[in-house]
Amino acid sequence: MAEIIVVTSGKGGVGKTTTSASIACGLARRGKKVAVIDFDVGLRNLDLIMGCERRVVYDFVNVIHGEASLKQALIKDKRFDNLHVLAASQTRDKDALTKEGVEKVLKDLADEGFDYVVCDSPAGIEKGAFLAMYFADQAVVVVNPEVSSVRDSDRILGLLASKTRRAEAGERVKEYLLLTRYSPARVENGEMLSITDVEEVLGLKTIGVIPESGDVLNASNKGEPVILDGESPAGMAYDDAVARLMGEERPMRFTQLEKKGFFSKLFGG
């Protein structure tokens, strides 16, 4: 059976699609067969970040409505043969997705031998977001360390605990916290919540802390998921998060303010 991971949040603009693309690439780089699906019907950003927007012929909704086969709609990544993208439709609305249709696509992916299916959820609690999380085995909850993002994510945790297939069977979706746009300097100045603050409010363990970085936007603009940039702190932090998702122990990096040494203080460095 394929392991289904939903990447979700209560608030828009926190980095879900960047996270979905990076997790999918990180798993594929470790030899896993991965499909990543864009559930954001009407907007569609995943194909841009994955760098395959010009190759979209058929989309997720076409497959659900029997207008194309899954094999026709899956786009093979140019960097990894074992990674495929299923784009969202830009021309339909959220009601084009159905629970039965999503279930069939996920079952067909499992039958095709995929190890992981990463579901890139739209923000909030509308139909696309509900269907993205309903079949999940694991959830990566993406949060910016600020009050409104944390509060909205608390609502998502309530849905994960009550409105998923696992919840209906009396089980739990494994939930992980991923903090994005983290700035130790702003935490120290009291402008941003700390990792501990967010963990205490949400009751989740942190699987990754992605530092605030222009590299994320640059990578997105190039259609190159930031995890593939080995020089970027954000890319390294995403790789650490994927390793932890797979059960590896990794120390948390980029979470402490670097203390200036004596000479840099002296010379204003």
pTM of the model: 0.94
pLDDT score recorded for residue 262: 53
- Structure tokens of 182? 């983290």
Separation in Å, CA 106 to CA 11, 56, 66, 221: 25, 19, 15, 29
pLDDT score recorded for residue 94: 72
pLDDT score recorded for residue 88: 94
pLDDT score recorded for residue 265: 54
pLDDT digits (tens, 9 = 90+) for 210-230: 999 999 999 999 999 999 999
Low-confidence spans in the chain with pLDDT less than 70? 259-269
**How far from the centroid of its chain's Cα atoms is residue 83's Cα?**
15
pLDDT score recorded for residue 261: 59
pLDDT score recorded for residue 183: 96
Nearest to 6 by CA among 206, 157, 181, 197: 157
**Beta partners for 138?**
5, 174
Nearest to 208 by CA among 174, 179, 183: 179
- φ, ψ (nearest 5 deg) of residue 164: -115, 165
Residues in CB range of 180: below 8 A, 6 or more apart: 14, 15, 18, 19, 142, 143, 144, 210
